[in-house]
């Protein structure tokens, strides 16, 4: 069975500091990993996906199959990055996604 | 462009009352549709998904049911709500491997 673990429920950093949101997954097939973000009073939206190897709003995430991880990183956090972040695992049948429990990131001024 | 509509935004219902939440998608055909529940401290849990009209798969046993009467309409229902049905319900769609588009959600409080 597939599983996604986000070990930190809450993460606080100061503006300008580096931030890393951890995500580990368990899946026997070929995984597809995503990060979703939910800003205050906005709907949940896709931040980035591993197949695109892109940087969005300064965030990057590298899929490490050896460590089964897909950590989200940003070198210099901004206050507007404060939000709930979900890691999600796809690649399963019918496009189903398995989500982690989410991490609330707070960036202090 | 594709959009997804979900309503109502908030709902307060007494225990034992029925429930109907609706989700519609525009700008796409034959999408995969999903209902998720976001419970405090428990993340997003997949409740139902549908790959076509009349095709519903349930992921967890529960007091809820889903239906897809039209290609771009997905309905979440209950005949008798329980307190434990309270939560934030999200509808989503996808055309494939590029991730979901979510609705704005319905905050359900069962009292």
**pLDDT class of B98 with cuts at 50, 70, 90:** low
Residues of chain A in contact with residue B56, where contact means CB-CB under 8 angstroms, are none
Using CA atoms, how far residue B107 sits from A31, A65, B21, B78, in Å, is 31, 37, 10, 15
DSSP-derived letter for residue A69 is B
Kindly state the average pLDDT of the residues A19-46.
92
Q: How far is A57 from chain B (nearest CA, A)?
A: 18
Closest by Cα among A8, A19, A104, A12 to A59: A19
Kindly state the average pLDDT of the residues A16-25.
97
Q: How far is B104 from chain A (nearest CA, A)?
A: 5
Average model confidence (pLDDT) across chain A? 92
CB B14 within 8 A of CB B94: no
pLDDT at B105: 93
Using CA atoms, how far residue B8 sits from A31, A46, A89, A93, B90, in Å, is 34, 23, 29, 30, 11
Contact B41 A51 (CB under 8 A): no
Kindly state the average pLDDT of the residues A36-62.
89
Kindly state the average pLDDT of the residues B33-60.
89
3-state secondary structure of A77: coil
* Structure tokens, B35: 């209902």
Say if residue A60's pLDDT is above 70: yes
DSSP-derived letter for residue B39 is E
Pseudo-torsion of CA A70, A75, A80, A86, nearest 10°? 10
């Amino acid at each position: 069975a597939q599983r996604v673990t986000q070990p930190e429920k809450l993460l606080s950093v100061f503006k300008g500091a580096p931030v890393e949101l951890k995500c580990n997954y368990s899946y026997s097939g070929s995984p597809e990993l995503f990060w979703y973000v939910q800003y205050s009073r906005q709907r949940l939206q896709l931040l980035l996906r591993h197949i695109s190897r892109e940087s969005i709003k300064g965030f990057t995430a590298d899929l490490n199959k050896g460590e089964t991880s897909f950590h989200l990183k940003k070198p210099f956090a901004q206050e507007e990055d404060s939000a709930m972040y979900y890691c999600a695992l796809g690649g399963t049948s019918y496009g189903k996604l398995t989500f982690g429990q989410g991490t609330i990131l707070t960036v202090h001024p | 462009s594709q959009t997804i509509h979900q309503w109502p935004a908030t709902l307060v219902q007494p225990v034992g009352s029925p429930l109907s939440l609706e989700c519609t998608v525009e700008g796409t055909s034959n999408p995969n549709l999903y209902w998720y529940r976001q419970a405090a401290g428990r993340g997003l849990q997949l409740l139902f998904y549908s790959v076509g009209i009349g095709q519903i798969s349930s992921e967890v046993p529960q007091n809820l049911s889903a239906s897809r009467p039209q290609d771009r309409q997905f309905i979440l229902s209950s005949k008798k709500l329980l307190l434990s049905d309270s939560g934030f319900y999200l509808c989503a769609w996808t055309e494939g491997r590029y991730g979901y588009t979510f609705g704005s959600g319905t905050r359900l409080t069962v009292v």
